[in-house]
Amino acid sequence: MRTLEPLLFELSASGRSAVSLPACDVPEVPVEMMIPKHMLSQQELDSHLPELAEVDVVRHFTRLSTFNYGLDTGFYPLGSCTMKYNPKVNERLARLPGFTALHPYQPESMTQGALQLMAELQDDFCELTGMDGFTLQPAAGAHGEMTGMLIIKAYHEHRQDNKRTKVIVPDSAHGTNPATAAMVGYDIIQVPSNERGGVDLEALKKAVNDEVAALMLTNPNTVGLFDENILEITKVIHDVGGLLYYDGANTNAIMGIARPGDMGFDIVHLNLHKTFSTPHGGGGPGSGPVGVKEFLVPFLPKPMVIRQDDGTFTLEENLPLSIGRVRSFYANFSVLVKAYAYIRSLGGQGLKAASENAVLNANYLMSILKEHYFLPFERVCKHEFIITPKNLKSTGVHTLDIAKRILDYGYHPPTIYFPMIVEEAMMIEPTETESVETLDEFAQVLIRIAEEARSETDLVKNAPHTTLVTRLDEVSASRKPNLRWRNS
């Protein structure tokens, strides 16, 4: 087995260097003569910085890169994260010098191509979600949520409807939903789920009144199920004057099939790093564009990319009701290029097929695994589903143990212990980019682990065995974290 990679500090050898500079051909001036003494560091830096040859550095980082696991190495069924394969053509287009060499302060006459891409992407998102206007500024999903909630707040305040202090969130919601609403200053009301995995409609009706600013909902929700009562839910909220916020984390299930705007939602965010195939999870920055219905367009962040009558594009700053800027410059622009490339590569029919295959793959895996694990909701799922090891309870094997054992078989584990409404949840999202062979192999691994839980319990409870680092002591890591290197 490989040993852990030493730190650069440990690889350091005194006097070793990656470059040899030519002799200085100008008079040397002592640093004290150029910088006031009180501004100079008192530490002797040399003794703290590692000294290495180029080959040491290259080998160190190349070795570290082989310890990584990503979509380019294997199946990554992390529920609610939509870890789909990111086509390399996206990267290639995002690296075109016409995009990468742009400076954000260049005049609009020189940036028409970039502005056109943004305007067309806004149009695409409007069509896909049933919204009337979009901002591309938010740099991540939670950032998009906050932008959306600020728009809701600005809308109610503009109408001088200041009694609305509450936001309703179902108990299956992503944790960012209540966190965002609280951050924007709202009180949170949690509504329970029903036995079908949807919002408990009666509980919702009891919770609403004219103090409700909005309901935040994911549909399909975090248990991978489409809420059958969605039209009634949106009506209940609208009837008391509240707005409907759609968390777009699970949009991968519905592209070209259902639109939040048609379900009654007023605001939507999309996660480009999930649905639109841009890298995430350490692989790249996120992007969380926000779309709104016509009556909320004046509140969108500025500047807005506008298509003018003569066919040119401009950044509009004169928007008096706008909530203002939510990001420096315009967006995580290269992420937008990748999403644009993805949408143009697939086209409308292709996006629809992607969603259909994502749902088909999830149902295929679910139908195999439900014979071997407990399935809390016996329904056709959307892009993801939940199973639990409740049927293995007598063995003492928990979800955590199964997740660790999956590592031994060379896969990334699914999302575990979320959503919290299902005890010992394992949330599996295969995405559309996996073949039936991959799904079959993964299913066989989970079936085998269920057998091992019964016959070789300790093997599962002490997993992983084949990884570089075996079972981590998470308790010590949390209680006594050792976060920095010190020269001892």
Partner 1 sequence: MNPVDMKYNKDHEYAKVEGNIVTFGITDHAQESLGDVVFVELPDEGSMVTVGESYGTVESVKAVSDISASISGKIVEVNTLVLDAPDLLNSDPYGEGWLIKVAADDLAPLKNMMTAAEYETFLLEEEH
Chain positions contacting partner 1, by CB under 8 A: 398, 400, 416-417, 420, 423, 474-475, 478-479
Closest CA to 254 of 265, 244, 243: 265
| Strand locations in 140-253 (E) | 166-170, 187-191, 212-217, 243-248
Q: In angstroms, what is the minimal distance from the CB of 40 to partner 1? A: 41
Choice between 479 and 484, CB closer to partner 1? 479
The 10 Å CB-count burial string (b at 16+, else e) for 240-249 is ebbbbbbbbb
Q: In angstroms, what is the minimal distance from the CB of 204 to partner 1? A: 20
Q: In whole angstroms, give the CA distance from residue 484 to residue 195.
A: 47
CA atoms within 13 A on the CB side of 313: 15
Choice between 130 and 376, CB closer to partner 1? 376
Q: In angstroms, what is the minimal distance from the CB of 417 to partner 1? A: 4
Choice between 134 and 418, CB closer to partner 1? 418
Give the helix ranges, DSSP H, for 269-387: 333-369
* Single-letter amino acid code for the residue at 77: P
Q: In angstroms, what is the minimal distance from the CB of 422 to partner 1? A: 12
The distance from CA 75 to its chain's CA centroid, rounded to whole angstroms, is: 17
Q: In angstroms, what is the minimal distance from the CB of 367 to partner 1? A: 24
Give me the DSSP letters along 229-279: THHHHHHHHHHTT-EEEEEETTGGGTTTT--HHHHT-SEEEE-TTTTT---
Choice between 364 and 417, CB closer to partner 1? 417
Q: Is the peptide bond before 260 cis (omega within 30 degrees of 0)?
A: no
Strand 385-387 relative to strand 426-428: parallel, antiparallel, unpaired?
A: antiparallel
Q: In angstroms, what is the minimal distance from the CB of 404 to partner 1? A: 12
The answer to whether the CB of 321 falls within 8 A of the CB of 298 is: yes
Q: In whole angstroms, give the CA distance from residue 13 to residue 10.
A: 8
Choice between 40 and 420, CB closer to partner 1? 420
Q: In angstroms, what is the minimal distance from the CB of 153 to partner 1? A: 24
The answer to whether the CB of 166 falls within 8 A of the CB of 184 is: no
Q: In angstroms, what is the minimal distance from the CB of 379 to partner 1? A: 19
Choice between 302 and 404, CB closer to partner 1? 404
Q: In angstroms, what is the minimal distance from the CB of 171 to partner 1? A: 12
Choice between 38 and 480, CB closer to partner 1? 480
Choice between 145 and 424, CB closer to partner 1? 424
The distance from CA 118 to its chain's CA centroid, rounded to whole angstroms, is: 21
Choice between 11 and 182, CB closer to partner 1? 182
Q: In whole angstroms, give the CA distance from residue 453 to residue 447.
A: 10
CA atoms within 13 A on the CB side of 160: 0
